[in-house]
Chain A
Amino acid sequence: MEEVKRVKLHGVGANPYSKRVELALRIKGIPYEYIEEDMSNKSQLLLTYNPVYKRIPVLVHNEKPVVESLVILEYIDENWRNTPQLLPDDPLERAKVRFWANFIQQELFEAMTLAVRYDGEVQAKAIDEVDEKMKVLEEGMKEMFPESGSASIQGEKLGLLDVLICSIFNSYKAYEEVLGVKILDPERFPLVFCWVEALKELPLVKELFPPHDQLVALLMVVRENVLKASSST
């Protein structure tokens, strides 16, 4: 009998990086213990597990930590092979997924984060950038999934890009409310819009993500704290 392997996830509430790992674990049906971390009072364990970045999420498997969400997602996929695969088998398709995962993470989400954390000119510039990146994403996804006229990108199977898109855009309405600007316009970005809306309806996703009002409240708190911190001398 195979010994039960313990999987633990150190995360933070509605943090999208944390959510994406949870979503991936749930898609793959991997049982895990969730440990909520307090970023204003980081646990010794967290600092031991992630000495380089000192942040969540941290996946701990058989006492060994894996950090950085995209690295964690690939680890989960490769370690648990008898479960739905997050990445395709073909190397070229895998490369496309990784390319777009990096884009969504480093270009698009970075800009969204800046827009939340800043005011004035920096914010305006960040919002413009989000719009630019959304256009690129829409075009890129059209090319990658040319048959997609239907709601969900990969049909029934959820993959790495679904996980990322979901973790970032599930709360798009909250971002729009807090920032006072439209981010996911269905007319300008029909493919991404339909994709996000389809993901939001999935029971797996509904279970995992907090409701709209809670997300708005959270975002406002994040924004307040960051703006306060940057304006205090």
Chain B
Amino acid sequence: MSEEVKVFGAWGSPFSRRVELALRLKGVQYEYIEEDIFNNKSPLLLKYNPVHKKVPVLLHNGKPIAESLVILEYIEETWKSNPILPEDPYDKAMARFWAKFLDDKCLPALWKAGWSPENEREKAVEEACECLKTLEGALNGKRFFGGATVGLVDIAANFIAHWLGIIQEATGHELLSAEKFPHLFKWTDEFVSCSIVKESLPPRDKLLAFFKDRIAGAMDAPTEASK
């Protein structure tokens, strides 16, 4: 039975890349549709995600699912190969907790710290570092948050593995260093070195140019356009 799987995404969005990564990890073929999220969202996107009007949206046999973490759980429940969540309900709860922590607290703090004006920077950096410290603890010496293989939390932390370093380079402000967070730093390497992950990341130079451009103009929060 042929299945129709489509992903509405944006090339630079960590949230839409999460969905692509999960599909690739499970060997699911999909059609990718690039949305111009800043200037011209397609009527289809607005139809499939009328509540938030954001990417990513997964379309499976004509049915849309929105919100990246909701989509990841859907993908996990629909395509059973290469699971990204543990079987045990308690371990699953822990994974969900960390994924939510990333979205609710960590990513907003990191984003804020990256782009804060001078007078707010110290406090923002402090909060961001607290988050990174918590994650360092959560990793607990494992290779991946998911243990031996990439799991939900690793996928949700993709921003930290790829985007954060590029933002650091663009802004000249360092948050995640090998000295301060050795395990987390090592994790970023392990994560981006996986061939499937590497394939699913936006090109570094393109992202760097994008962020440098945005520094030149006014900077808006990323959640406006994509989540």
Contact = CB atoms under 8 A, between A and B. Distances in A.
Question: In the complex, which range does the number of interface residues on chain A fall in?
Answer: 20 to 34
B217 interface: no
Interface in B48-97: 51, 60, 63, 65-67, 70-71, 73-74, 77-78, 89-90, 92-93, 96-97
B11 interface: no
B100 interface: yes
A75 B74 contact: no
Contacts of A74: 92-93, 96
Contact of B70 (A64, A66, A71, A98): A98
Main secondary structure of the interface of A (DSSP, over half): helix
Interface stretch (A12-20, A25-33, A87-95, A201-209): A87-95
A78 B60 CA distance: 25
B93 A75 contact: yes
Question: In the complex, which range does the number of interface residues on chain B fall in?
Answer: 20 to 34
B15 to A, nearest CB: 13
B89 A95 contact: no
B63 A92 contact: yes
Interface string B93-133: 10011001100000000000000000000000000000000
A184 B63 CA distance: 30
Given A52-B101, A91-B77, A95-B71, A75 B65 contact: no
A62 to B, nearest CB: 9
Nearest to A106: B104
Contacts of B89: 75, 78-79
A64 B94 CA distance: 11
A99 B96 contact: no
A136 interface: yes
A150 interface: no
Contact of B65 (A64, A71, A99): A99
Nearest to A94: B77
A99 B51 CA distance: 10
Given A95-B71, A98-B73, A102-B67, 6 more contacts: A52-B101, A66-B97, A75-B92, A92-B65, A92-B74, A99-B65
